[in-house]
Amino acid sequence: MSEFDAIFVGAGHNSLACAAHLALKGWKIAVFERSQTVGGAVQTGEYTLPGFRHDFGAMNLSLFAGSAFHRKYANELKSHGLEFAPVADCFASAFPDGKWFGVSNDLEKTASRLAAFSAADAATWRRLVGAFPGEAEHLFRLLGSPMSAKALAGTGWNLWRKKGLAGALDTARLLLSSPRAWLEENFETPHVRTTLAAWGMHLDFAPDIAGGAVFPYLESMANQSFGMVLGKGGADTIIRALAGMVTAAGGRITTGADVAEITVSGGKATGVRLASGETHVATKAVIAGVAPKALTGTLLPNGSGDAGFDAAMRKFRHAPGTMMIHLAMDDLPDWSASAELRQFAYVHLAPSLDAMSRTYQQAIAGQLPDQPVLVVGQPTAVDPSRAPQGKHVLWVQVRMLPAEILGDAAGKIAPAQWDTVRDAYAERVLDIVESYAPGLRRKVLGRAVFSPLDLERENPNLVGGDQICGSHHLSQNFVFRPARSFARWNTPVSNLYLTGAATWPGAGTGAGSGFMLAQQLGGS
């Protein structure tokens, strides 16, 4: 048995960021991770063939590059090997009619593509980009602050002081709007609306769900204004750097160490018991980077002592599942719409707002979507080091999918568990990609398919294949993430805290929950 100031359950990037900050503040730290590798959903591996490095989940590291944690510790992270690959051509969408639209960090390029659709849309884009710095100040302040009365009051006061009442209400309206409402108010071209709306599907926001407009807005404006970044060699560059910071500061990271129970005495978390029977004491904090259902369902066998909190953790809503298809490629796809699409980090395949809405509803109803939303990542177009010379990898994320299959919207696959239908559904996905990029299959050298069930097996936090660890709908976001009165990473158990995507500020690679919790515990 060993004694530490803080013990972490799980080694996702939020936990590692929190551990690094506290270790540098002089805390004695221990991190226990059930897997053999650290990083949670941010990992990179040779899932297909040797030499082909695929990001398991997250690929876009822009949030981490722009995070408060990176601003504070950029030098330390760089000394531990962090390296980014900047992206100029960020995201695009291809359409069945042969048209396409894409956002690059060169305003004239993007505006020219827009003008080919609509002069009015090009003018609107320039107006939004010009206003973005002022709007971003308030949105990023909100998303980067704890859900405390003091922080919210400060954000509200700053917003009112700089924009006035009318401007503050406009910002509030954006935060409450659905993607469709905001896009139809601002753009007249369906292709443009659809391209931007695809970002909402990354965070469980189909076009007609309130609260989803801010994500297409922020992603498109930030990509236009700053570009995007991937991790050089793989997204795990941030994990290796964070782990290096923890251990260099004296912290201990143990993999293959499954925490079976968080020990509690007198309403206070006192440490952990591993599945091996080994026990460890925490004198200041136990920090669990787990999905809420695992906290009261497993780690606290007797519950938290607060029936309302325990019920909220059991009822925590997860987003629909995803499938990941990793392809080792002889070459990039030959996109019919334009060879220029080969330069983009992401190519979305989603025909329309209505198609996205239908896909979402099919998944919610337990149906295999006939036309899933596809996110085709082309990281080697940006970072050739991820594959042997002249070769490439494709990262295909399939959204949205049911965790439990009740039927097939296309009527072609009999309902069964994912282990049975995984390959058949992967073929449907590849058929869709091939319809936009003929000859795709001839270029495939190897593939690895992870169904929603496979993703959860790899990482229990990805419940039902939910890669964002919980819906971000308004009823489960901001002061309600993960539950009312517990949005500051606190729990009813003294000295026990939650971190990770299930907590405020939610999913993404920004390490916001880990760093804000670390500052709350150990000071800035």
Which residues does residue 55 pair with via DSSP β-bridges, in sequence order?
Answer: 44
pLDDT at position 166 is 94
pLDDT at position 183 is 98
Other C-beta atoms closer than 10 Å to the C-beta of 7 total 30
CA distances from residue 53 to 35, 43, 234, 451 in whole angstroms, order as listed: 19, 10, 7, 19
Domains and their CATH numbers in the chain: 2-42+61-83+234-317+470-522 (3.50.50.60), 106-226 (no CATH), 318-458 (3.90.660)
3-state secondary structure of 371: coil
Q: Specify the amino acid at residue 383.
A: D
Burial (CB count <10 Å: 0-12, 13-18, 19+), residue 150 = exposed
> Does the global pTM surpass 0.85?
yes
For every residue of 317-329, DSSP letters joined together read: PPPPEEEEEEEEE
**Residue ranges in the chain modelled with pLDDT below 70:** none
3-state secondary structure of 286: strand
Phi, psi (deg, nearest 5) at residue 140: -70, -30
The whole-angstrom separation of Cα 115 and Cα 99 is: 13
Contact 58, 235 (CB under 8 A): yes
- The H or E element containing residue 448 is strand 444-450
The whole-angstrom separation of Cα 5 and Cα 283 is: 5
Contact 287, 281 (CB under 8 A): no
CA distances from residue 67 to 12, 63, 71, 435 in whole angstroms, order as listed: 16, 6, 6, 38
Of 497, 486, 489, 488, nearest to 282 by C-alpha is: 497
3-state secondary structure of 520: helix
pLDDT at position 297 is 82
What digits encode the pLDDT tens for the residues 356-378?
Answer: 999 999 999 999 999 999 999 99
Of 169, 73, 10, 44, nearest to 519 by C-alpha is: 73
> How many Cα atoms sit within 13 Å of 124 on the Cβ side?
17
Tokens standing for residue 469: 């660890």
CA distances from residue 359 to 326, 356, 367, 372, 410 in whole angstroms, order as listed: 22, 5, 9, 6, 11
Q: Specify the amino acid at residue 26.
A: G
DSSP state at residue 235: T
Tokens 């398991």 — which residue?
56
pLDDT at position 1 is 79
